């Protein structure tokens, strides 16, 4: 069943669905964690209370999120640089050539496979059309023969009423 962004079934018109107060539901087993989170961070306490009481709407969630959102800090010196030994550095051109060779082989195989299957498809369609043409011609000739038989050979007609002689 299609639903809108709040999970309301789409066959309910927007005039009705927008009057419904959509709130977030959290299972009760999370309440101790949310209470501790609210106690540890006094700025978060109003939103945690709303969440536990089942009164937190999407607008409240957005307000809470953007109030406490902080830009991501990336410490680039802590990101390890990839290490390659001297032997690996010397093999770089060889590895690049092998990659290009494998790509070329894949391209050639793809071209061959597509041509092979296209040829099979066209050949099969040709044989099928030829057999259908033969069937249609045979049926057409049969119809012509039957027409001639019934028109030109009345003495051999089936289901003719035999004359009684009194007419």
| Same-domain pairing of 112 and 54 | no
List the domain range (segments joined by +) for residue 149. Answer: 104-167
When pLDDT is cut at 50, 70 and 90, the band that residue 98 belongs to is very high
Closest CA to 109 of 97, 98, 117, 119: 117
Overall number of domains in the chain: 2
In a domain, 93, yes or no: no
One domain, residues 22 and 70: yes
- pLDDT, averaged across the chain: 86
In a domain, 163, yes or no: yes
Q: Is 95 among the domain residues? A: no
3-state secondary structure of 7: coil
- Whether residue 91 lies inside any domain: the answer is no
User: Within this chain, do residues 110 and 73 fall inside the same structural domain, yes or no?
Assistant: no
Domain boundary residue, one of 27, 61, 78: 78
| Per-residue confidence band for 81, with pLDDT thresholds at 50, 70 and 90 | confident
Are 34 and 52 within 8 A, CB to CB?
yes
For residue 85, being part of any structural domain is answered with no
Higher pLDDT, 12 or 96: 96
CA distances from 40 to 27, 30, 31, 74, 104 (A): 21, 16, 14, 26, 61
The reply to whether 6 falls in a domain is no
Same domain, 68 and 113: no
Same domain membership, residue 111 and residue 162: yes
* Residue 35: closest CA among 56, 51, 59, 24: 51
> Which one, of 137, 20, 76, lies nearest residue 145 by Cα?
137
Dihedrals φ, ψ of 23, to 5°? -125, 160
Residue 52 near residue 31, CB atoms below 8 Å: yes
Question: Does residue 1 sit within a domain?
Answer: no
Is 94 domain-assigned?
no
pLDDT tens digits for 25-79? 889 999 999 999 999 989 999 999 999 998 988 888 889 999 888 887 877 787 7
């Amino acid at each position: 069943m299609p639903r809108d962004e709040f999970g309301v079934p789409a066959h309910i018109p927007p005039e009705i669905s927008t009057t419904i107060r959509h709130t977030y539901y959290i299972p009760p087993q999370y309440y101790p964690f949310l209470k501790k989170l609210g106690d540890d961070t006094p700025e978060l306490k109003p939103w945690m209370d709303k969440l536990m009481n089942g009164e937190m709407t999407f607008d409240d969630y957005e307000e809470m999120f953007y109030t406490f959102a902080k830009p991501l800090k990336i410490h680039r010196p802590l990101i390890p640089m990839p290490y390659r030994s001297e032997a690996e550095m010397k093999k770089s051109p060889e590895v690049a050539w092998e990659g290009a060779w494998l790509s070329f082989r894949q391209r050639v195989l793809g071209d061959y496979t597509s041509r092979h299957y296209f040829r099979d498809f066209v050949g099969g369609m040709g044989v099928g059309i030829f057999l259908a043409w033969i069937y249609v011609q045979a049926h057409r000739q049969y119809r012509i023969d039957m027409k001639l038989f019934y028109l030109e050979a009345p003495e051999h007609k089936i289901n003719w009423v035999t004359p009684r002689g009194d007419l």
